[in-house]
Amino acid sequence: MPAALAVLTAGLLAFHRTVPNSPGRLGSLLEAFLPWLGVVVVVLLAVALLRRSATALVALLLPAAAWTHLFGGLLLPGAAPGAHDLIVVQHNVSDENPDPAGTARALADADPAPDLVALQELVPTALPVYERTLAPHYPYHAVRGTVGLWSKHPLTGARPVDIKPQHADESWRRGMRAVVHTPHGEIAAYVAHLPSVRLRASGLASAWRDESADLLGRAVAGEEVKTALLLGDLNGTVDDRGLAPLTSRLNTAERGFAFSFPTAFPVVRIDQVMARSATVDQIRTLPPTGSDHLPVIARITPG
């Protein structure tokens, strides 16, 4: 039995794209938790050792190799920081955050100091607190709807990006774009908050999220500035095929798992930093704030 389960686990890791997404978007559900199949490998290893099963131990080489191929690179140390690197923070601050001022201070005091801070779920009652608290550190900022970007470098061309699913309320505004004028060149920065997904008896409900991801992918594809960044709560992992309109066009983090949700026991990273014509060298989480998400901080190397 352990040998058969090892082969099955290897198949799911190596051929997860072949798992059908209908019914219930089972493929996306598997891909959301794909790294955790490594735990299955560890459990099967323990069982194989207890049973002293040579067959199972040999079979476990298959899922171990598949997991290492997919995720082993994320465990390696990152490259040394470069002079042109950009430090960015992404955080869904939660519309129920009891301490927006403390959250803003924690983000501004991150080490290393961020050049850009992207926030989602900015509600009208808390927005002035974020603006006031971040102003001493970030003289430039833009907010569109419930998403915003704070920057140490000048911003121009701030505008909404329409990523609203067809049947969402007209007040739904969760995407924006601005050009960041860094000392090393212009960068088009997108901030987005894709619709939530729900796990139901029928499977994973992600149709709105997938529709919004497609709209955002088209916007990024049409971006004329060479270097582009996407910072957002995408309500999906980079392995989830529902985010393919984005992951097919942008680089994802080369180092770090940075599981960001939920704060109490993070099991997935749905807060993402992606780039075009730039490398996301490393991503990691920051300490908890008053949100149900952990902030993530990433180092970007342009070019």
pLDDT tens-digit series, residues 287-299: 999 999 999 999 9
pLDDT above 70 covers what percent of the chain?
A: 99
Measured between its terminal Cα atoms, the distance across the chain in Å is 49
Instruction: Check whether residue 197 and residue 293 sit in a common domain.
Output: yes
Closest alpha carbon to 259 in 247, 272, 250: 272
Res. 202: pLDDT tops 80: no
Instruction: Check whether residue 167 and residue 260 sit in a common domain.
Output: yes
Instruction: Check whether residue 224 and residue 293 sit in a common domain.
Output: yes
Mean pLDDT, to the nearest integer, of 198-211? 85
Q: Is pLDDT larger for residue 203 or for residue 268?
A: 268
**CA–CA distance, 267 with 261 (Å, rounded to integer):** 6
Res. 79: pLDDT tops 80: no
**What pLDDT sits at residue 31?**
94
Which domain range does residue 44 map to? 2-75
Q: Is pLDDT larger for residue 77 or for residue 166?
A: 166
Confidence band for 215, pLDDT divided at 50, 70 and 90: very high
Whether the pTM exceeds 0.85: the reply is yes
Q: What's the total number of domains in the chain?
A: 2
Instruction: Report which secondary-structure segment, H or E, holds 29.
Output: helix 26-32
**What pLDDT sits at residue 21?**
87
Instruction: Check whether residue 279 and residue 163 sit in a common domain.
Output: yes
**What pLDDT sits at residue 54?**
92
**CA–CA distance, 171 with 145 (Å, rounded to integer):** 8
Report if residue 149 sits inside a domain.
Answer: yes
Instruction: Check whether residue 32 and residue 115 sit in a common domain.
Output: no
Report if residue 136 sits inside a domain.
Answer: yes
Of 75, 104, 121, the position where a domain reaches its end is 75
As a three-state string, the secondary structure of 36-69 is HHHHHHHHHHHHHHHHCCHHHHHHCHHHHHHHHH
Confidence band for 152, pLDDT divided at 50, 70 and 90: very high
Confidence band for 80, pLDDT divided at 50, 70 and 90: confident
Q: What's the mean pLDDT when you consider all of the chain?
A: 95
- Residue pLDDT, tens place only, 186-200: 999 999 999 999 877
Instruction: Check whether residue 58 and residue 169 sit in a common domain.
Output: no
Contact at 8 Å (CB) between 29 and 203?
A: yes
**What pLDDT sits at residue 200?**
77
Instruction: Check whether residue 71 and residue 193 sit in a common domain.
Output: no
- Residue pLDDT, tens place only, 134-144: 999 999 999 99
Q: How would you classify the pairing of strands 86-92 and 116-120?
A: parallel
Instruction: Check whether residue 235 and residue 151 sit in a common domain.
Output: yes
Report if residue 31 sits inside a domain.
Answer: yes
Report if residue 81 sits inside a domain.
Answer: no
**What pLDDT sits at residue 81?**
76
CA 94 to chain centre: 16
Report if residue 237 sits inside a domain.
Answer: yes
CATH number at residue 91: 3.60.10.10
Closest alpha carbon to 212 in 235, 178, 238: 235
Instruction: Check whether residue 286 and residue 201 sit in a common domain.
Output: yes
Instruction: Check whether residue 193 and residue 246 sit in a common domain.
Output: yes
pLDDT above 90 covers what percent of the chain?
A: 87
Instruction: Check whether residue 176 and residue 47 sit in a common domain.
Output: no
- Residue pLDDT, tens place only, 89-109: 999 999 999 999 999 999 999
**What pLDDT sits at residue 78?**
72
Instruction: Check whether residue 71 and residue 115 sit in a common domain.
Output: no
Mean pLDDT, to the nearest integer, of 36-65? 94
Of 43, 75, 107, the position where a domain reaches its end is 75
Report if residue 80 sits inside a domain.
Answer: no
Residue burial 188-223, b: 16+ Cβ < 10 Å; e: rest = bbbbbbbbebeeeeebbebebbbbbbbbbbebbeeb
The Cβ-side half-sphere exposure at 241, using a 13 Å CA radius, reads 16
